Amino acid sequence: MNRLTQGVVLLLFGGAILRASMTDLYLRYVKEGLRPFLIATGVLLVAAAVMTIWYSFRAATTHADDDQGHDHHGPGVGWLLILPVLGLLLVAPPALGSYAANQAGSVVVAAGDSNYPPLPEGDPVELSILDYASRALFDAGKSLEGRDLRLTGFITTAPDGSPMLARIVLSCCAADGRPIKLGMTGRPPVDVPADTWIEVTGVYSAQTSKDPVNNVDVAFIEVKTWQEVAQPKQPYA
């Protein structure tokens, strides 16, 4: 690959990173707190690209006479490296969803070092799936009992075909995403397609099961009502 090709690829790649960072698109790839680092990376790549392209044209002009009769260009196939970068610019892949959740075992929820703090006042209480699962499995639901709870996630399916509520948990980026899954009793959604985002209102259930992928305990929630919602701006937990 010649220097001009390298510069164009860098420019497109840096532009793709900046485009994603300036919108909510970056939240499909990394956690929210990494946005400043993405912007800095995009700026550096664009700057490096501009310098590389400028140097390429300058060198071509300066050494035009020396280059007569010689071919110093790399193979044209190097330009094919632009294709995945254009794909990143033109096609935004969806956030990880039910397929990823079904392929990976549920997150091993960490036990708290002490009693879980009481939930905020008011019903229903907004909780993350991760927080609910932690309280349900390691606090025996003590901080959840007697409260109406509201959780948001997408639909995935258990091996027996029953619907589950799930969310992908990130440590850093989508590459390390792992699902946290909840079973649903009571009045769970019926015939709702996988990857549909729903908001569930329900109460604590003592029922548990095992995730067949990694044999981790899976908590349940007793559903009172549910409704379909749009995918949140931040789809990951």
The pLDDT value given to residue 84: 67
Question: What does the pLDDT read at residue 71?
Answer: 47
Residue 111: which pLDDT band, with cuts at 50, 70 and 90?
A: low
Q: Rounded distance, CA 177 to CA 223, Å?
A: 26
What is the model's pLDDT at position 60?
A: 74
Q: What is the mean pLDDT of residues 222-236?
A: 94
Confirm whether pTM is higher than 0.85. Answer: no
Q: How many helices (DSSP H) and strands (DSSP E) are in the chain? A: 5, 6
CA–CA separation, 152 and 193 (whole Å): 16
Which of 5-14, 33-42, 182-191 is predicted with the least confidence, judged by mean pLDDT?
A: 5-14
Question: Would you state the pLDDT for residue 79?
Answer: 65
Q: Where are the domains of the chain?
A: 3-90, 98-228
Q: Using one digit for the tens of pLDDT, what is the confidence trace for 14-72?
A: 888 888 888 888 887 888 888 899 899 989 999 998 898 888 888 777 765 555 545 45
- Per-chain mean pLDDT for the chain: 84
Instruction: Report whether 118 contacts 143 (CB < 8 A).
Output: yes
Domain covering 98-228 in this structure, CATH number? 2.40.50
- The kind and range of the H/E element at 62 are helix 35-62
The angle subtended at Cα 57 by Cα 53 and Cα 63, nearest 5°, is 140
